[in-house]
A and B are shown apart, each in its own frame.
Chain A
Amino acid sequence: MSITCELSNLTSKKAKESNGGENWIKKLLFFFMVLCGLTSLVIVVLMFSRKEETGSCNGEEARVLYRHQNVTRSEIQALVSLFSDSDQVTSFECRKESSPGMWANYGVTCSLNMRLEKQETQSYQDRPWNLNPSGLEHSISSEVRVFDNLEQSLVQHREPENYEEGKDWDLSSYLRNTWWCLLLLGVLVCHKIYVSHSKAPTETKEKVSLQESLAQNQQQQRAQTGCRGAGKWRKNILLLGVIAGVSMSVWWFWDTNEKIILKRRETLENMCEERARVLQDQFNVSLNHVHALSILVSTFHHGKTPSAIDQKTFGEYTERTNFERPLTSGVAYALKVPHSKREQFEKEHGWAIKKMETEDQTLVQDCVPENFDPAPIQDEYAPVIFAQETVSHIVSVDMMSGEEDRENILRARASGKGVLTSPFKLLKSNHLGVVLTFAVYDTNLPPDATDEQRVEATIGYLGASYDMPSLVEKLLHQLASKQTIVVDVYDTTNASGLIKMYGSEIGDISEEHISSLDFGDPSRKHEMHCRFKHKLPIPWTAIISSSLVLIITFLVGYIFHDAIIRIAIVEEDCQKMMELKARAEAADVAKSQFLATVSHEIRTPMNGVLGMLKMLMDTELDAKQMDYAQTAHGSGKDLISLINEVLDQAKIESGRLELENVPFDMRFVLDNVSSLLSGKANEKGIELAVYVSSQVPDVVVGDPSRFRQIITNLVGNSIKFTQDKGHIFISVHLADEVREPLNIEDEVLKQRLALGCSESGETVSGFPAVNALGSWKSFKTVHSSEDHNSDKIKLLVTVEDTGVGIPVDAQGRIFTPFMQADSSTSRTYGGTGIGLSISKRLVELMQGEMGFVSEPGIGSTFSFTGVFGKAETYSSVTKFERFDLAIQEFKGLKALVVDRRNIRAEVTKYHLQRLGIFADIVTSLRMACTYVSKSENLAMILIDKDAWNKKDFDELLTTGKETSTRPPKILLLATSATLVERSEMKSSGLIDEVVIKPLRMSVLICCLQETLVNGKKRQPNRKRINLGHLLREKRILVVDDNLVNRRVAEGALKKYGAIVTCVESGKLALAMLKPPHNFDACFMDLQMPEMDGFEATRRVRDLEREINEKIASGEVSAEMFSKFSSWHVPILAMTADVIQATNEECVKCGMDGYVSKPFEVEALYAAVARFFESG
C-alpha cells in the first residue's frame, strides 16, 4: 500500500514536472526566437546605415562635379563678354589654341580620379568632344549633357560598389550569424537530449524483467552511473559553451572596434585625398588662368603695335576676371628690361625702376612706390608695368631685386612653365603666400626649344600671388564635414625643413593622413596633412553588441544549467520510479503467487469439506439436518467458484492467461450452458432460449471453456437479476450479418433489428427487453471491415434479459472488478462482482469487445464480439457422435411449430433444424388446423404452452386424424411443468410428450426418440453421472516412474471400475499408445527421467496426426482403424504442483487437461467428465 501511495505521489509529481518542463522549453524557444529577431534587426539596421554613408559620399562628389561645371560655364561666359566688349571676337581661334576644353576635361578627369574607375574616364574620352565653333551654347549644352551622363553613370556605379562592400560585410556578419546558428543548434541539441532522456528510462523500464531482480538491480546501477556520466558530460559541454560564448564576445568587441578604427582611417583618408585633389584642382585651374593671361599679354601687348593693353585695360580686365582666380590676391606683368635699355625704358614710362623693399613690412595702404629706392644697377631688370588694382603698388618695382622673385623669374623663363616660390610672407601683407610666375615670349617658340632659346625669347613675366591660408580656407569651406577634419598644408621641397603654409595645432595627433599635392611645379613639393578634430569616441556599438552577446551567453548558459539540473532531478526521480515500479511489480507477482497458492491451498480442504458434506447428505438425515447440510454444501460450492474467479482474475492481471485454440462446436457449448443453468432458470420461471444463426459454422476454433465461462457468467447474472418473469435469450450471429442490415436473411435478427425501429416488437417471452442494437453500434469490431481474413470469423453474442436492469449511474463502473451496481446489490443478490470484469477481459483476449445497454426496470442486454478461427472441415470435432444415429433417424422429417411469438418459434425451428427436421411456423392452433389439413407426412406438431387452447386443440386432433393415417405426434413445449403435470398430460392421451424448455439437442433427441420410436423406452436423462459410472470398463494407461505413485493411481482408478495398465516411462507409454488405440485415456506424469510427459505426449500427437492425415488422404483405409475418422486419445497430465500452472504448457504439447496428484475425486471427475460424458 505504501508503495502504491509513494508511486502515485511520484507519478503525479512527475507529471507536474514534465508539464513544467514542457512549458519551460516552450518559453526557452520563444525567448530564443525573440533574440534571433532582435539580432537580425540590429544587423539589418547596421548594414542600412552603412549604405546611407556611401550614398551621402557619392552625393557629395556629385555636388563637387556640379560646381566645377558651373565654374567652367561662367568662365566661358565671362570671356565672351570681355571679348564682345573689346570687339575682338575675330581671334576666337585662341580658344582652340589654348585648348579651352582642357580644364573642363582636366577637372572632370580629376574628379573621376577621385572616386571612379578608369572605365568611366574611358567612356568619357570615347565621346567625341564637340569643338564645333558654330555654337558655344551648343558646346556648353553638350558639356551639360556629359555631366548628366556622368551623374547617371555615377548612380549606376554606386550599386556594384555597394555590392562589394556588402561582400566585405558578409564575411564578418557570416561569422556572427554562425554564432547565432550555433546557439540555435545548441538549444535544439539540448532539447533533443532532454526529450531522449525523458524517453530513455521508459525504454529501459520495459526491458526490466521482474524475474531477474538481481540483474535488474545491476542494470539500474549501470543506468545510474551512465546518467551520472551523462550529467558530467553535459556540464562540461555547458562550461565549454560558456567559455566559447565569452571568447566570442571578446572577439566580437575586438573585431567591431577594429572595424570602427579602420573605417575612421578610411574616412580620413578619403576626406584628405578629396581635399588634396580639390585644392590641387582649384590651384591648377587658376594656374591655367594665369597662363592664359600671360598668353593674352603676349598676344595683345607684344603682338600688336601699338599695344592693345595699357595699365588701365589690364587693371580693368584683371579686376573683372578676378572671380576666375579666386585664389590669387593679384596679378602683375613685368617687362624684361636689360641694363642697356634701362634708360630708354625709364624715359618711356616716365618712372625709374625701383628696388623691392623686403625689409619694410608696412601695410599696402601706406606703401607708396615713389618712396622706393631706385633699383641698383644690374644686368637686367624686371619692372612691373601692369598690375591688378589690388597690387597696383608694385608697378615700377623691379621684380629681379627680390630674392624669391628673381629666382622664380629665372626658373620660369628657362622652363617655360609656371613656377612657384617657396612660401614667404607676402609683400605688405601678413599672410604666407606663394608667387606664381609665367614667362612671356615674343616669338612662337618651338615645343622643343632649349633653355637658352627660351631665355632669349623672353620679353616679360606674368606673376600672380597666392594667399595660401585664405585659399585653403575658402576651399575647405566648400566641402562637407569641415567640422570634423583639420587640414595642414606643408611645402616639402626642402625635406629637412617643412614649411607650414596653412594649419592649426588642434586635433587628434594620433591619426594622420598625408596626401601629396601637385601644383604643377615639378621643383616644388607640397603635402597635405589631415587629422580628425576630435579624438576617437568610445566605441559604444562594439561594447553594446559584445556585452549583449555576453549577456545572452550567460543567460543561455544559466538556462541550460537549470535544464541540466532539472534533467538530473528528473532522472533521479525516474530511477526512484523504476525502483518503486520494480518493487510494485515484484509485489504484484508476489500477490499473484500468493493468490494462486492460497487459492490452491483453500481449494484442497474445501474439496474435503464438500466431499464430506455430500457423503453426509447421502446418509439418512431429517429435513432440518438435510437443509443445513445443503446450505453448507451450497456455500462451499460458491466459495470454490469465487476462489476460481479470483484465481482467474489474478491470472489475467498478470497476463499469464492464454487462450486455447482448439476446434469446438459452439452450439454444443451453448447447449451445455443452457442445460447447466436450466435448473435455476426453471426454478425462477424464466424462459431460457438459445439461438445460433445458420450462418455460424458448426465448428469454430477458439477456447471453448473460456467461451463457456463468459456465457455462463452473463447468463448467470441475468438469471440472478431477473425475477420470476420474462426470459433470457442467448443469440449468436456473425458480425458480418449485423453490418449489412439491408440483406439480412436471418429471421431472428430481422426481428431484433425491427425491434429497434418500433418499440412494440416482440420478444421471446413477450416481456419488453432492451434492444441490443445500441451496444452493437458502439462496437468497432462489428463495423470495421478491415480484416476480412478468410480463416477468421467474428461472432456477435447477445444475452438479453428482462431483469431489473442496471441503474444509469452505475453503468460506468459495471466492468470494474469487485464493483457492483451498488452495495445493496451484493446484499440482495450476492456475488462478488468479479464475473463481468473477468468476462470483459476474456473477451478482450479474444480480440473482441463487450458492451451492454440497460434500462432499469426493463432489463439489460449484454453483447460481445469475439474472433474465432474457422475450423478445417476434416478435423471437425464429433463431440456428439452418439447423436449422429439419432440425427440420421430424424433427417427429412417435417414438423409444425405452433407459437404465438414468432421469435420463439424461430428458436424452436432452429433446434429442430439442427436435427435435420424441417419446420414450418404457424401462430395459432386454428391456423395449425388449416395447415395440417393441407399438408401430408407431418411427423410432429410442437405446440407452445402459451398457444395451448383446449377447444382448438381438439379440432386440431380431429383434423390430424382425418387427413393422415399416421397422425402427427403432438409435443407440448413448456417452460416449467412438474412431473405430476407432465404425467397427467401424457396420460390424458391428448399429447405424446411434454418438452421442458430450454430446448437443447440432447433433451430434444431424447423426447423425440421416446415419442417417435414407440415402445423403446429410454432412460430418462441421468441427473448426475458419478465417477464410477464414468470410468467403468474404461481402459486407462497410467504412466509414472514412481512406483508408489503408480500403484496409488492404479488403485484409485481401479476403485472406479477402470481397467488400468501401468508403465513406468515415457518410452514405454509411447509404445503402448500407437494407433489404433487400445486405451480410452492416459494419465501421464510430467516429470520423468529420459522422456518426460510433455515429450511423450508430443510424440503421441505427432503419430496421431500422421495417421489422421493418411486417413484423410485415403492412404490408409479408415476401416483398418475401425470406425473412427480421426484419432485422438485423451492424455491428462498428472502433476503435483498446480501453482506453477503448467496448464498452458500441457495444452501446448497436446494434452487435454491435468489432474493434480494425489488424486482427488472431484478433480478427477471434472477432468475425466469431459472425455467420457459424451462417450
Chain B
Amino acid sequence: MDALVAQLQMQFRDYTISLYQQGFLDDQFTELKKLQDEGSPDFVAEVLSLFFEDCVKLIGNMARALDQTGTVDYSQVGASVHQLKGSSSSVGAKRVKGLCVTFKEYCEAKNYEGCVRCLQQVDIEYKTLKTKLQDMFNLEKQIIQAGGIVPQVDIN
C-alpha cells in the first residue's frame, strides 16, 4: 500500500517537475497551489476549470473575429488575447501566456497570418495543457484514494 503510494507520489512529483521543466507551468501555479487549503480544497481545480472555460470562449471569439473575410476587427481579437494572457498568467500557464504575448504583438501589427497561426497554436497548447493537468489531477486523486497525501513539489 505504502509502496503504491510512494510510487504514485514519486510519479506525481516527476510528472509535475516535467511540466515545469517543459515550460507548461510556472511559479504562479505553485502560488495557486499554495492558496489551496482546508477552506477551499478544490481551489486549484476550480480555477483551472474556469480558466479552460475561459479559453474555449475566448478562442471561439477570436476564431470568429478572424474568420470574417474582409475586415478583421483586430481590437476585438486584441481584447480577447489580453484576457487570455491575464488568465493564463494568473494560473501560471506559461506556454499559453508566452503564445499570448506573441499573439498580441501580431495582433497589434495586424498581421493576419501570424494571428491565425498563433490562434491555432494557442488552441493546441491549451488543449495539451488541459490533458496534462488532467493527468496530474488524476494522479492526485489516485494518491488520495490510495490514502496518501499529495506531496509538495519543490521545483528546482
Contacts and interface: CB of A to CB of B under 8 A. Distances in A.
Contacts of A1045: 86-87, 90
Nearest to B154: A612
Nearest to B53: A1043
Contacts of B92: 1158
B50 to A, nearest CB: 5
A1047 B50 contact: yes
**Chain B interface mostly:** helix
Contact of A1042 (B31, B34, B37, B90): B90
Contacts of B34: 1055
A948 interface: no
Contacts of B91: 1044, 1048
Interface stretch (B40-48, B109-117, B143-151): B40-48
Contacts of B54: 1042-1044
Contacts of B37: 1055
A1044 B43 contact: no
Given A1043-B50, A1054-B40, A1157-B89, A1048 B35 contact: yes
B89 A1136 contact: yes
A1047 B31 contact: no
Contact of B39 (A1041, A1042, A1054): A1054
A166 interface: no
A1057 B47 CA distance: 19
Contact of B47 (A1051, A1136, A1157, A1159): A1051
Contact of B46 (A1047, A1052, A1054): A1047
A1044 B39 contact: no
B102 interface: no
B148 to A, nearest CB: 22
Given A1043-B54, A1044-B50, A1159-B31, A1051 B40 contact: yes
Contacts of B31: 1052, 1158-1160
Interface string B108-145: 00000000000000000000000000000000000000
Contacts of A1044: 47, 50-51, 54, 86-87, 90-91
A1041 B54 CA distance: 12
Contact of B82 (A1043, A1087, A1158): A1087
Contacts of B4: none
A1158 B76 CA distance: 24
Nearest to A1085: B86
A1175 interface: no
A1158 B85 CA distance: 12
A1048 B47 contact: yes
A764 B36 CA distance: 54
A1044 B86 CA distance: 8
Contact of A1158 (B40, B46, B51, B89): B89
Nearest to B39: A1054
Interface residues of B, number: 27
B104 to A, nearest CB: 12
Interface residues of A, number: 19
Interface string A1026-1052: 000000000000000111110110011
Most chain B beta-carbon contacts within 10 A, residue among A1044, A1052, A1054, A1087: A1044
B87 A1051 contact: no
B89 A1047 contact: no
A1047 B47 contact: yes
A1048 B89 CA distance: 11
Contacts, number: 60
A1160 B30 CA distance: 12
B40 A1136 contact: no
A1043 B90 CA distance: 10
Contacts of A1054: 35, 39-40
B79 A1089 contact: yes
A29 B156 CA distance: 78
A697 interface: no
A1136 B98 CA distance: 14
Contacts of B50: 1043-1044, 1047
A608 interface: yes
B61 interface: no
Given A1047-B47, A1051-B47, A1041 B83 contact: yes
Interface string B6-31: 00000000000000000000011001
Contacts of A608: 27
A1055 B83 CA distance: 25
B32 interface: yes
Interface string A1073-1113: 00000000000000101000000000000000000000000
A1159 to B, nearest CB: 7
Nearest to A1048: B90
A1136 B84 CA distance: 13
Given A1047-B47, A1051-B43, A1136-B89, A1042 B83 contact: yes
A1054 B54 CA distance: 22
Contacts of B53: 1043
B56 to A, nearest CB: 12
B99 to A, nearest CB: 16
Contacts of B82: 1087
Contacts of B85: 1136
Most chain B beta-carbon contacts within 10 A, residue among A1048, A1055, A1159, A1160: A1048
Contacts of B43: 1051
Interface string B58-87: 000000000000000000000100110111
A1136 B97 CA distance: 12
A1055 B43 CA distance: 11
Nearest to B51: A1044
Contacts of A1051: 32, 35-36, 40, 43, 47
Contact of A1048 (B27, B32, B39, B83): B32
Nearest to B79: A1089
Nearest to A607: B27
A970 to B, nearest CB: 50
Most chain A beta-carbon contacts within 10 A, residue among B87, B90, B91: B90
A1160 B82 CA distance: 21
A635 to B, nearest CB: 19
Nearest to A605: B27
Interface string A897-916: 00000000000000000000
Contacts of B27: 608
Contacts of A1055: 34-35, 37, 39
Interface string A1146-1162: 00000000000111100
A1089 B87 CA distance: 15
B35 A1052 contact: yes
B146 to A, nearest CB: 27
Nearest to B55: A1044
A1157 B92 CA distance: 11
A1157 B34 CA distance: 16
Contacts of A1160: 31
A177 to B, nearest CB: 70
Contacts of B87: 1042-1045
A1158 B39 CA distance: 21
Interface string A996-1022: 000000000000000000000000000
Contacts of A1043: 50, 53-54, 87
5 contacts: A608-B27, A1042-B87, A1048-B90, A1048-B91, A1158-B31
Given A1052-B35, A1055-B35, 14 more contacts: A608-B27, A1041-B83, A1042-B54, A1042-B83, A1042-B86, A1043-B50, A1043-B87, A1044-B47, A1044-B87, A1045-B86, A1048-B47, A1051-B35, A1055-B37, A1158-B92
Shortest 10 CB-CB contacts between residues of A and residues of B: A1044-B87, A1051-B35, A1042-B86, A1048-B90, A1045-B90, A1044-B51, A1044-B90, A1158-B28, A1047-B47, A1055-B35
Interface of B: 27-28, 31-32, 34-37, 39-40, 43, 46-47, 50-51, 53-54, 79, 82-83, 85-87, 89-92
Interface of A: 608, 1041-1045, 1047-1048, 1051-1052, 1054-1055, 1087, 1089, 1136, 1157-1160
